[in-house]
Amino acid sequence: MGRPPSNDDSGLKKGPWTPEEDQKLVKYIQKHGHGSWRALPKLAGLNRCGKSCRLRWTNYLRPDIKRGKFSQEEEQTILNLHAVLGNKWSAIAGHLPGRTDNEIKNFWNTHLKKKLIQMGFDPMTHRPRTDIFSSLPHLIALANLKELMDHHSWEEQAVRLQAEAAQMATLQCLQYLLHPANNLNSFSDMETINLLNSVSSMKDDLGLQPVLHDDSIPFLHLPDLQIPCTYQTPLNNGNDIVQAPPQLELTAFSQGENSPINSPWLASSSSTPSPSVAPPVTTETSISNLGDACSTSSFGGAAPFAWPELLLEYPLFDHEIS
């Protein structure tokens, strides 16, 4: 791996390091310390620039470097720290003894970033992406197809895929709404509309039939979770849609329950219509048994994850998507 040996304009060697060069560098630093990196190459008998020597030492040759695969614990630490620190690789590396910023950066770019995207989270904000609902069934179907083909009929596969996609999308939707950063009162009209459209199109894409609730409420019926949605769209009536926001009402029901379960969260989350917005966005959300929903779904458990403001849980796939 790496690059072919080459020399820059000043005749200094570039590209991958040979074992002999490594040996010279290690020997010199062990005996004298690195001192001035600029002066080191000449003193150590290397035809390299000081910067190249420093990188080779700090990223590869340093004796305290831990090599090999990242453990689950390290992976979780990186996720947690990245949510707080962002791409501050050196700061993250400071919390992982023996790991270099370069190694963590590479691991992030090749593994964790993709993993978050596949789970439907924005790797930069660590928040659920609201634009992925329509593609979820496809993603999950790809992940499950091979395994399922070995054991089930196409009809069974279709039913299971629909259920899993619906659960996943629902959980992400609810987690997004639950996140304190998504202050429901501060939802922009377009965000709310997009969210509703996502839920609505998800329902359509999955072929789930709405069940009428109270004769008027489109009721998205999911295997473990039920979400009644009342909304008015597009409400434009010839006016700008932005001036006529929809009304969103989401209530989570636990499996087997006929009525929503009261939760402390509900009391603190009910929004009061803001007088400054006319007509106001009125959004009420109650969530219960989110943990149950996780455990009864096929996500394979949940791993604790620290949002900057709150400890939430990322539902983890029990399988890799390739």
Partner DNA sequence: AAGTCTTACAACCGCCAGCTC
Partner DNA sequence: AGAGCTGGCGGTTGTAAGACT
By CB under 7 A, residue 36 contacts DNA: yes
Distance CA(43)–CA(22), nearest Å, equals 14
9 CB contacts (<8 Å, ≥6 apart)?
none
d(CA 263, CA 30): 62
> Closer CB to DNA, residue 109 or residue 188?
109
- Output 55 or 178, the one with its CB closest to DNA: 55
- Closer residue to DNA in complex, CB, 6/258: 6
Strands 283-286 and 248-251 come out as: parallel
Choice from 25, 41, 56, 307 touching DNA (CB under 7 A): 56
User: Which lies closer to DNA via its Cβ, residue 4 or residue 256?
Assistant: 4
Of 27, 32, 42, 51, which lies in the binding site for DNA, with binding defined by CB under 7 A?
A: 51
Nearest Cα neighbor of 59 from 86, 35, 25 is 25
Q: Supply the minimum distance, in Å, between the C-beta of residue 180 and DNA.
A: 26
Q: Which of 28, 89, 187, 299 binds DNA (CB under 7 A)?
A: 89
Asked if 111 touches DNA (CB under 7 A), the answer is yes
Selected binder of DNA within 38, 62, 66, 138 (CB under 7 A): 38
**Residues between 5 and 34 that touch DNA (CB under 7 A):** 8, 14-17
Selected from 58, 157, 185, 230, the binder of DNA by CB under 7 A is: 58
Query: Candidates 88-96, 125-133, 150-158, 172-180 — which segment interacts with DNA by CB under 7 A?
Result: 88-96
Are 26 and 42 spatial neighbours (Cβ–Cβ below 8 Å)?
Answer: no
Q: Does 105 bind DNA (CB under 7 A)?
A: yes
Residues 152-181 that bind DNA (CB under 7 A): none
